[in-house]
Amino acid sequence: MNTLRTAMLLAAMTALFMGVGFLIGGTGGMMIALLIVAGMNLFSYWNADKMVLSMNGAFEVDERSDPRYYRIVQGLARSAGLPMPRVYKIDTPQPNAFATGRNPENAAVAASTGLLRQLSDEEVAAVMAHELAHVQHRDTLTMTIVATLAGAISMLGNFAFFFGGSRDNNNPFGFVGVLVAMLVAPFAAMIVQMAVSRTREYEADRRGAEICGRPLWLASALDKIARGAERIPNPDAERNPAMAHLFIINPLHGERMDNLFSTHPSTENRIAALQQMAREMGGAAQPARREAPAPAAADEPPAGPWGKATPTEPARPRPNPWGRNPTGPRNAGRKGPWS
């Protein structure tokens, strides 16, 4: 299904690219666009991940340069049964993360410096587990190629503005065709949003929660990232909006609605789904006679990627909807189970 989905998506993006070429330069423009997009499809398959990382200013880290971050990813990859991906950081204060790569053997994960500073070890683990779920589901190939082609369509629209009005360009629609091409380009990101199904985010949330073992870690992380993305701009993402769907939370401003044209489901809906998952996981360990799990056990799964569960502590007042405060006194000075 992933192979079929990728092929259909590439065909649709290719047709769109050729259509814009036809509006700009007629049959000759369409043929030139076909040659360009064929080359881009081939180039994107092998290099889209490198382009996405470069456009976001990502730089690679290893166990020596950032042992905390690297070991978290290493433990999660081992738990998920995945090859160790390349690990990158993005130098931006906005908390966010994404994954890229054409397959699990050539995957990369990237987290922003803002995310690594603002989130606890548990929350960072949950976010990276979500990104590894995208790698495991092979979503990254489709997402990175779509980002590259959508950016190319936008550039073609800009080309139409400067060069599409020439009388000798064999354009059967004249300046009207150029105007249509210019209007198509701004909608490239919207087409990406419709083409890349938002159900992937729900599936990655669920699988990521399974990998890290704690759905409420991811729920807490999503809330912090969403609030951070509202306040803190991401200039690289703003310059390249076609890449917005790659991130765990939309890095752009003004796209909060859970509708057909949004890149992500609403954060509130994702948190609600994770809370329901936590209740189900907690309920599985309770006696059959109980109708619902005790609140203190809601985020206590049988095990995490490091092979054992965190010991259960006595119930205490809960400062947030997730049942625990990963950055509170309870975790002060405590190392994560991956260290």
Measured CA to CA, the distance from residue 69 to residue 170 in angstroms comes to: 55
Q: Is 201 annotated as a binding residue?
A: yes
Joined tokens for residue 70: 């690297």
Q: Which residue among the candidates 60, 105, 123, 131 is catalytic per the annotation?
A: 131
Give the three-state DSSP class for 70. Answer: helix
Q: Long-range contact list for 319-323, CB < 8 A, 24+ apart? A: 320/220, 321/219, 321/271, 321/275, 322/216, 322/217, 322/219, 322/220, 322/223, 322/275, 323/216, 323/278, 323/295, 323/296, 323/298, 323/299
For the question of residue 123 being annotated catalytic, the response is no
* Sign of the Cα pseudo-torsion (44, 47, 53, 54, in order): negative
Q: Is 245 annotated as a binding residue?
A: no
Measured CA to CA, the distance from residue 187 to residue 276 in angstroms comes to: 35
Strand partners, 111: 89, 97
Rg (CA), the chain: 22
Backbone angles phi, psi at 88, to 5 degrees: -125, 160
Annotated binding site for Zn(2+): 130, 134, 201
Name the residues annotated as catalytic. Answer: 131
